[in-house]
Structure 1
């Protein structure tokens, strides 16, 4: 099965607390990291695929390789095959480290990498998976799944924020715990709910 998420920001201590941008009421990054790991693994099986749409972590150490090792150790605890789309906080050094330490997990590499984005098809619809929101213009059956903007939503019905802080979870019939990747069914609920909201505003 496929799942979608973005902006986990593992280790990012400056996001801790309650804010309008990225509310994360955790006492420490260790608590935040573990919450995401636990909620992720409660949903994702080892044979599933998760598209992570960027901003995996924000962590700086000296030497820098120590932060790459720490991020690798966290990602290694997450179930599933990870398709990683580069975000503005994801360094090439991190991607190179992950590629150099990639390992086989249930018959496929743990990590795959995309510099800009990916395109997948689901139930007669195309999903453009990017970190930054895309302006698609007038389109049919194309949805841009993105992250980057945390607790904000693009005022365009074809753009769906799948980040862990997304306000578009309000379109779901049942909210998911923090850090849980979204299922295709939940993505479709977001798409339908946002489109309905736009029709009601016209």
Structure 2
């Protein structure tokens, strides 16, 4: 199966509590990390692929190599092959570390990398997967899946926030547990529900 997610912010102490960016009721980043890992692995199988749309972690351990090693160890505990799209908190040094320590899973690399974004087709739609939201204008068959804005939403039906703090999970009949990536079936449900919501406002 194919999943998408964004803005896990592993190790990021600024995400703890009820902040301007997120509502993460944890006292310690280790508690937050473990909750994401457990919930992730409940829905993502080892054979699945996950597009992570940026801001994997914010970790200031020193030396920098130690921070990269800690993030790597977290990612290896998460099921699935990853296609990593660079967010504003993801530096090239981390991606280089992951590439150097990459390994094969399901006949392909555990980690693949995209600097700007990716384009996929699913169920007769095109999806642009980016970290930052794109302003697409009128694009009936194109949807932008993005993160970056945490619990905020873009006021356009073509933009779907798939970050783990997204307020747009309200469009789902059943919200994912904290940290769970979204299946494409859930994405489609969000797309349709947001479009229906905008039609009601006309």
Q: Same fold (TM over 0.5)?
A: yes
Q: Partner residue of 1:61? A: 61
Q: Partner residue of 2:167? A: 167
Give distance in 1, aligned partners of 2:179 and 2:122.
23
- TM-score between both structures, scaled by the size of structure 1: 0.99
Give distance in 1, aligned partners of 2:29 and 2:137.
39
Q: Partner residue of 1:182? A: 182
Q: Partner residue of 1:21? A: 21
Q: Partner residue of 1:80? A: 80
Give distance in 2, aligned partners of 1:46 and 1:108.
12
Within-5 A mapping of 1:86-105: 86-105=86-105
Give distance in 2, aligned partners of 1:51 and 1:161.
13
Q: How many residues align?
A: 202
Q: Partner residue of 2:47? A: 47
1:151 and 2:182 are equivalent in the alignment: no
User: Cα RMSD between the aligned structures?
Assistant: 0.7
Q: Partner residue of 1:126? A: 126
Q: Partner residue of 1:5? A: 5
Give distance in 1, aligned partners of 2:45 and 2:62.
35
SS at match of 1:170: helix
Q: Partner residue of 1:140? A: 140
How far did residue 137 of structure 1 move? 1.2
1:111 and 2:111 are equivalent in the alignment: yes
Give distance in 2, aligned partners of 1:138 and 1:170.
24
Which string of whole-angstrom CA distances, capped at 9 and with x for unpartnered residues, describes residues 48-93 of structure 1? 0000000000001221110000000000000000000000000000
SS at match of 1:127: strand
SS at match of 2:126: strand
* Runs of 4+ with deviation above 2 angstroms: none
Which string of whole-angstrom CA distances, capped at 9 and with x for unpartnered residues, describes residues 71-121 of structure 1? 000000000000000000000000000000001112111000000000000
How far did residue 18 of structure 1 move? 1.2
Q: Partner residue of 1:191? A: 191
Ranges in structure 2 where 5+ consecutive residues have no aligned partner: none
